């Protein structure tokens, strides 16, 4: 037998076995970055925390079912179940918060951020602090808006015409402003959200009645849009 032909197949097999002995390269940093990318951003974090909440809840329910079916259990198992249930609640909360942040980012371009909303809240007769015409709908909307946006503020500005003397008109403007401010509070606004200002006499000829000046104006800047205002107002940011 020709030894040349005998050794050649063995050399090929040895080379093949040597190649198989080399494990493939494990690029751990690359795979880690790809896995981490799945949970990036508010939406990814929302899903991530929801999955963790489900896992913890499953552990808590498993122990609960053991108890209900009178299976054997120990003290450590009971504490583990309680800790798991609490962790599930915390992850659920984190999921909601992240989802709200994502919704805010999606919805905010459709809202008129930092635009001024301005309305004539009430009209008055000469010398009176009791309005004869009040825009109750606008006041109610403004009051509810301030209630649901505790970081927002509104300006309540009162004027008079030039009939009478300036000192009495200044006091009259203050009473008119207080009237509208009180209505806003009744509809949900907090007094500290209201910047009340009594201008007094508006510009114009002296001793001239002018219905356009016997008014109280209210205005507010729309704050940065935010979904789930109640969630964040509860101190859960």
Enumerate the domain spans of the chain: 36-109, 116-223
Per-residue pLDDT tens digits for 66-85: 888 887 767 788 889 999 99
**Residue 196's beta-bridge partner residues?**
156
Looking at residue 235, the DSSP 8-state letter turns out to be T
pLDDT tens for each residue of 175-215 = 999 999 999 999 999 999 999 999 999 888 888 899 889 99
Architecture of domain 116-223: 2-Layer Sandwich (3.30)
CA 104, CA 212: separation in Å to the nearest integer? Answer: 40
Name the DSSP class of 206.
T
Locate tokens 């076995």: which residue?
Answer: 17
Cross-sheet strand order for the sheet of 194-201:
133-134, 116-123, 215-221, 154-160, 194-201
Ranked by mean pLDDT, which of 24-28, 31-35, 119-123 comes out on top? 119-123
Interatomic CA distance for residues 133 and 231, integer angstroms: 37
40-53 pLDDT, tens digit per residue, is: 788 888 889 999 99
* pLDDT tens readout for residues 98-115: 888 787 777 665 555 555
In this model, does residue 55 exceed pLDDT 90?
yes
Mean of the per-residue pLDDT values for the chain? Answer: 82
Which of the four pLDDT bands, split at 50, 70 and 90, describes residue 20?
A: low
> What pLDDT, on a 0 to 100 scale, did the predictor assign at position 223?
59
Q: What interhelical angle do 75-107 and 41-68 show, nearest 10? A: 150
Question: 149 or 185: which carries more pLDDT confidence?
Answer: 185
């Amino acid at each position: 037998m020709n030894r040349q032909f005998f050794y050649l197949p063995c050399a090929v097999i040895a080379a093949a076995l040597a190649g198989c002995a080399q494990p493939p390269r494990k690029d751990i940093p690359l795979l880690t970055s790809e896995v981490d990318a799945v949970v990036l951003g508010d939406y990814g974090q929302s899903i991530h925390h929801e999955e963790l909440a489900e896992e913890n809840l499953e552990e808590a329910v498993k122990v609960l079912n053991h108890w209900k079916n009178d299976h054997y259990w120990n003290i450590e198992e009971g504490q583990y179940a309680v800790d798991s249930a609490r962790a599930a609640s915390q992850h659920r909360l984190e999921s909601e918060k992240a989802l709200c942040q994502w919704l805010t980012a999606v919805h905010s371009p459709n809202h008129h951020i930092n635009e001024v909303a301005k309305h004539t809240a009430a009209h008055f007769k000469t010398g009176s602090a009791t309005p004869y015409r009040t825009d109750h709908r606008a006041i109610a909307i403004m009051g509810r808006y301030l209630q649901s946006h505790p970081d927002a503020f509104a300006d309540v500005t009162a004027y008079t015409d030039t009939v009478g003397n300036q000192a009495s008109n200044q006091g009259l403007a203050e009473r008119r402003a207080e009237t509208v401010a009180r209505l806003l509070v009744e509809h949900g606004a907090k007094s500290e959200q209201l910047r009340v200002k009594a201008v007094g006499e508006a510009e114009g000829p002296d001793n001239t009645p002018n219905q356009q000046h016997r008014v109280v104006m209210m205005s507010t800047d729309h704050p940065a849009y935010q979904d789930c205002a109640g969630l964040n107002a509860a101190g859960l940011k």
